[in-house]
Structure 1
Amino acid sequence: MAWELLSVIGIIAFAVSGAIRNVLIGVPVSALWEQGAFFQIALASITIVFLFPKLLLKHWNKWGNLSDAIGLAAFTIQGALYAVKMGHPLSAVIVAAVLTGSGGGIVRDLLAGRKPMVLKAEIYAVWAALGGLIVGLGWMGNSVGLYVLFIMLVACRVCSYMFKWKLPNRSFYVNN
């Protein structure tokens, strides 16, 4: 019963975050049903994790952050490309990149009962915004450029958690 309930919650959460992104950049709802092979890949990945959780969890500290960095980079670029394809201005491309790149991580963290990385001082969404800016400006307009951008975003994200890079933190409260 708990597995089914969590599955439904996860499906709803990812559907809502994807749908919100799609509504913001104007992707038709029908695009969701055209995901055939991608859905099968996601289902196979979920099945592997479900069947071998102990094997995967014992390596999570090493590979979990890398997996997250890869997802952040891939979905950042995908979201930015969607917005560019729809003819949106640079600001919308950046927003689409950030929502798409960090949306899955936000949902994952919330469902795991953790504060999302985006809401911490840790550098996370900055990489998505940078990726959206680069795609939106057309600096990496061909396939090779997009692969280079992907590698750069993954490397930046990995460096930011390995070297504990943080966003500047400023308090606006004055002690009297």
Structure 2
Amino acid sequence: MVWDVLNVIGTIAFVMSGAVVALEVKYDIIGAYVLGLITAFGGGAVRNLFIGIPIIELWQQTALFIVAIITITIVILLPSSAVHFLTKWSIFDSIGLSAFAVQGAMYAQSIDLPLLAVMFSAAITGAGGGIIRDVLAQKKPIVLRQDVYLLWAIFAGFIIGMEWVSEAYQYYILFAVTLMLRGISHRLGWSLPTRTIQQSQKD
């Protein structure tokens, strides 16, 4: 039940995120549907490829695809002012990241994968769709260049991989904590250290 609930929450959040980005960069209606669906399902598809789950399982989520298409349609029909308001907040990204990080880690743990694989599954499920979305929108992936984003997905994967949670309410608490940490880091502008290489100037 926890897995299904988080799957629905993550799907709706990332579908909205992808559709909003598509409208923001002035893609057409088909572009909004494509970007929304890829944001929601891309991370899970990549995860399945890496941990050896048949990709056909992706197409067996008919109910989720219907929910996703309805959600994208609602976003497209929203007034421009509402869409503009949504672009100012990363709430959908944060919800999708937190839900899919916990869900992805649970999935990997359920097939007895080691700790590193559980952490990877959490990270790629939580952030993979967003990375693909940003690349298709011709933007540098926000996951890799600013904010503390991917780290929180890895954190959730570590907690689950260490088997420190086992009850349903504990998974919901972990989802809430991950969401809170992501929200705080975004609000306060936290970022991980970066290093750049200066271009040498030629005479």
CA offset digits 1:10-42 (Å, max 9, x no partner)? 656866643321011222223223212211111
Q: 1:22 to 1:127 in 2, by over 3 A?
A: same
- Structure 2 length-normalised TM: 0.75
Worse-superposed segment, 120-129 or 47-56: 47-56
User: What is the one-letter code of the residue matched to 1:38?
Assistant: L
Name the counterpart of 2:159: 134
Which of 37, 46, 51 is residue 25 of structure 1 equivalent to?
51
Worse-superposed segment, 16-25 or 123-132: 16-25
Matched residues, percent identical?
Answer: 40
2:162 corresponds to 1:147: no
- Deviation of 1:118 after TM superposition, in Å, equals 1.7
Q: 1:163 to 1:116 in 2, by over 3 A?
A: same
- Matches of 2:70 and 2:177, distance apart in 1: 28
User: What is the one-letter code of the residue matched to 1:57?
Assistant: V
Query: Does the 8 Å CA contact 1:25/1:86 hold for their aligned counterparts?
Result: no
Worse-superposed segment, 31-40 or 121-130: 31-40
Query: Does the 8 Å CA contact 2:41/2:129 hold for their aligned counterparts?
Result: no
Aligned length: 173
- Matches of 2:38 and 2:151, distance apart in 1: 26
Name the counterpart of 1:89: 114
Unaligned 5+ segments in structure 1 are none
CA offset digits 1:73-119 (Å, max 9, x no partner)? 00101111111111110000111110000012112222332211221
User: What is the one-letter code of the residue matched to 1:54?
Assistant: S
- Matches of 1:167 and 1:150, distance apart in 2: 22
Query: Does the 8 Å CA contact 2:42/2:129 hold for their aligned counterparts?
Result: no
Which of 68, 71, 80 is residue 93 of structure 2 equivalent to?
68
After the TM superposition, list the runs of 4 or more consecutive aligned residues in structure 1 that deviate by more than 6 angstroms.
none
Worse-superposed segment, 4-13 or 139-148: 4-13
2:189 corresponds to 1:164: yes
- Structure 1 length-normalised TM: 0.85
